[in-house]
Structure 1
């Protein structure tokens, strides 16, 4: 009984895998599936951390097919141009081309500086035309008077402001 269940499960898994590949054929066209790939799906990505894409870069043409047949023999008989053509059929870029600087950092810094300057202009406009002036209680004399009143009223005498005031010397505790 267990062997029948196992065989059935394996058949269903195989059918599901075949159905998955068939649904991807419309997306990948005539390109050869050569491995598992980065995420287990037949897709092509040039990545330095995972250099083995699941499918080849170009579709198989008669020229490339002839080169692949020739490739199965002695590689010393292949010319440099044929080796390059085989490489470019499988991969879009070399590692040097992938890692080459693109200059994208310049646009990122430019956009960031523009956003910062716009936000500063918006802040200045809000400060001038939207916000009211600060109340008179924010002046230095008023804040000192408020502090003195809190000490006189002994606000929070255990752990707060009044606990740090020496009432005998009329000065802050040291």
Structure 2
């Protein structure tokens, strides 16, 4: 090993010694949950979390615009992808078995699932969004096609430019 290689190695070791591993771990964790949001079709984790219902501990469900249900856990995402269900009955059966619910718990689960809002998909940015939350924030606007006023305006401007 020559002197130049040893010098590079020492610089590399010094750089590694100066890494803030806690900050790096936090950045990786944040990137993972943002990736989870993107996988489920949301622009960011905060919107995914607001659009989802907490079932137990860190397990959530989300009713996607295409009718599927997603079961996910942000703490387990690095090792466990979201589980998708084609209908609420399949999801209900899974949760009953997962939580080992009795008849009373099953009835409560069924009532809770009936109240979960199905997301819409924005025609412009193609992100999932909660139409009820959006209507509450901006009651004077029809949000059936777009997740925001910005997406609606961009879509209209795009149509005008094409003409």
TM-score normalised per structure 2: 0.24
**Higher-helix-fraction structure:** 1
TM-score normalised per structure 1: 0.23
